[in-house]
Structure 1
Amino acid sequence: MGTGPATTPRPGAVRAGAAWAGAAWALGVLALLVTMPLVARDRLPDPVATHWNGSRPDGSMSVTSAALFPAGVWLALVLAAVVTRRYWGGSASGLPAALLAGGGVLLIGAQASIVHANLGRSHWQDADSANLWVAVVMALTALASALACLATRRPGSALAGAGPAAREPVMDLPDVERVVWLSWAANPALQLTAALLGLGAVGTAVASGTGLTDPHWMLLLPLAALALGIGVVSSVRARVTAKGLVVGFGPLGWPRRSWSPAEIESARAEQRTAAQAGGFGYRVNRLGTTVMLRSGGCLVVRTRAGAEFAVSIDDAERGAALLNALADRADAGRP
C-alpha cells in the first residue's frame, strides 16, 4: 500500500442530501400512515380489525386510533434513527437508514393491509384475511433494510501512492502491492427531488393496492421512473485502483462505468460549471460525457479511443495524478 498521506473527501454534500431525503421520507411516511384510514373512514367499519389469529380477526381499534398508533410508532423509530446516527454513526453507519427504510415500509404495509382488509365491511369481525399482505410486506421490509444498508455503507479511507502530484499531473508510485483512491459527491437538491417523487409513487401504489382508488398507471409509472432516474444521477462514487477507474452512480453505486489503465490516454483535473456541462445530472455534449453534481473541480478522463468522461468530484487532482501514473505503468508494460 502507498505510504503517502490519506486523503478523505469532504462528505458534506452527501450528508446534507441524505439528511434532506431522510426528512422527506419521514414526513411522507407519517402522512401516509395518518391519512390512509382517515381518507377511507366512510368505507370502513368503526372500529376496524387490526389483529388476526390466522385468517380470523381477533382484535380491533377505532379508526382514529388506527391512524395515530402507527404514527406514534413511526415517530419513535425516527427518533431512534436520529439518536443512533448522532451518537453511534461511526460504528453503526447503516443502522439509521435501515430503521427508516425498513420501518417505514413495514408500517406503511401494515396500515395498507388493515385498510384493505376492512374496506367495505360493516363490522370488523368480517374483515378479510391479511396473510398474503403480511408475507409481501415482510419481504419488502427485509429488502428495503438491506438496500438501505448497502446505500449508506461507508467507503474506506481514500489512499494513494507516495509522492506529490506533478504538473501533468502524474504521481510518483513506488513498487507497491496496492494503491487506492476513493471519492464521492452528491447533489442534495436532486436527492430531495428523487425522494419526493419516490414518495409520490409509493403513495399512488398504496392507494391503488388498498382499493382506495382505481389503479393510476399513467401517474405511477412516470413518478417511479423519474424517481429512479434522478436518484441514480444524484450522487456518484469514484474509485481508482491498480485495475483502473470505476465510477458508480446513485446510493447503491450502480450502474457503473469502468476503464482499465490501458484504456486511459490521460487524466486531468478541470474546473467546470453546470452551464458548461449543460445542466446538472448526466450530460452528453461537445465536452463529451459529464456527470455534473456541482460546479467546480472535475476528474476528466480521456480514453485512447478519443472519448472524454468527466465527473464533478472531490480531490480530482489526486485521482487524476494516480490514474496518469497507472496509465504510464501500463504503457511501460506494453510489448
Structure 2
Amino acid sequence: MSNSRTFDPAGVLFGIGVPALAAAVGLTLTLLWAPRLPDNIATHWSGTDPDGYSTPWSLAWTMVIVIVLVGCGASAIAALAGALLMMRRTMLLVGLTVVGLLLTLWIALLAAQLDLASAVSAELPMTWIGLGIGAGAAVGLVGASTLRDHRERSAATMAPDPRLPRGPVNLPITLRLGLGPATTAVLVGVGAAITAGLCARAGSWWPLAVFVPVSLLAVGLLRFRVTLDETGLWVRNMGMTAVGYGVEELVGADVEEVNPSRDFGGWGLRLKGRGNYGLVTTTGPAVVFTAANGQRLTVTTPRAEELAGALNALADRRLGGA
C-alpha cells in the first residue's frame, strides 16, 4: 500500500497557519495601538531600567521576521507528510512554544507602554514570558495530536528468513524506555532548585512560569512506551503514537548490538539516513524491524531477542509460513 501525500493538512494549519496568524495579530495590535504609544518604545532592559529603544513598527517587523524564521522555520516541518511523525511533532511543539513566547512578549511590550508620555519609565513585563511559553506549548500539543503518519506503507509478500529468531507469541509486550523515574526526579529537582534561586533573585515568580512548561515538555519528549501486540510494533510518546509498523509490513526482525553514540550519533528517537530510525536509549542488544518499504526501526532493549522472535513468529502466522 502506498501513500503519495506530500503535505499533512493539520501540519500546514498548525505549523504554518498559526505562526502566520500570530504575526498578523501582532501587526494588527501595533496598528491599533500606535497612536497611544510613545514615538520610541523600550525594547531592552538592564536590570529594572530600559536601555534600548525602537519605534513600534521597527519592533513589529523585527518580531515578524523572528516569528517567521525561528518559530515558523521549526514548526513548518510538521507540514511535511513524509517526515518522521515524532520529529514533526517535536518541531511543532518547539516552534509553537517559541511563537507563543514571542507573540505574548510583543503584546506585553506594547500594552505596558500604552498612554506613557515617555518609555523611560516603562517596566519589563517578565510575568508574560512564562504565560506565553505555556500558551504556545499548549497550542503546540493540540496541533501535535492532530498530525498523522502519512509515510509510504508496503505489505511483505514473504515470511521472514528462517535463520532469524523465532519465539513464543506471548502478547502484548510493553516496555518503558528513556528517562526513568529516578533520573527524571534528579533532573527536575536540580531544575527546580535553580528556578527557585532565580525567583528569589528576580523577586518574581516568572522563572517558575518558564520552568514548568519547559520541564514538562522536555521530560515528555524523552520518555517512551513501546508496545508489541498482534498488530505490530508501536512507539508512543506523550500519549501519542510516534512511530509504528504493522506486522503485515515486516520483512524480518533481527537482533543487533547497538551503541547510541557510535551508531546513531546520540540518544533518544534518532534518524540515521533516509528511512533508518532508532529508539536508542542504552548500549546493548536491540531489535531491528525491517519493513517492506525498506525502512528500519531499531529499539534498544534487553528483551530484544524476545521481541524479534515474537515478531517473526507473527509474520509466519500471517503468511501461513509456520
TM-score by length of 1: 0.40
TM-score by length of 2: 0.42
